[in-house]
Structure 1
Amino acid sequence: MKKLLALAVIAGGVLFVIKRNKDAKAEADLWREATAPTDGPLGTVSANGNAPAKAAGAGHNN
């Protein structure tokens, strides 16, 4: 019984490490995609990550 419990604990630990590595790779891929250079000087987003004021219709004080 103890051997079976030890085997279950080891298998759980291995699965946990595999899941963590997979999650870390996915996060790294997202970061790489988010920080990839664009064709234009700022692409379609402003420097702070929001939509440009002209495209959003903001910045008009009428």
Structure 2
Amino acid sequence: MKKLLLVVLAALGGYFVYRQVQADRAEQDLWTEATDAVPVGAR
């Protein structure tokens, strides 16, 4: 029973780490888009 609990806790921990990484990546993409230089011909 303890092994099952440890597996479940490890899976939940992995899931939350994955979600945090995805959120950080989305925020970085947003900052990159907001701070990209505008090409000269696009004005």
TM-score exceeds 0.5: yes
**Which structure: greater helix fraction?**
2
3-state SS, counterpart of residue 37 of structure 2 = coil
RMSD: 1.4
Partner of 1:6: 6
In structure 2, list runs of 5 or more residues that go unmatched.
none
Give TM-score, length-normalised by structure 2: 0.82
- Which residue of the partner structure matches residue 17 of structure 2? 17
Asked which structure has the greater CA Rg, the reply is 1
**Alignment: residue pair count:** 41
Structure 1: 4+ residue segments shifted above 3 A: none
Distance 1:39 1:21 in 2: 30
For residue 31 of structure 2, give the secondary structure of its aligned residue in structure 1. helix
Query: What is the TM-score with the length of structure 1 in the denominator?
Result: 0.59
The separation in 2 between residues aligned to 1:36 and 1:18, in whole angstroms, is: 27
Q: CA deviation at 1:38?
A: 1.7
Aligned to 1:29: 29
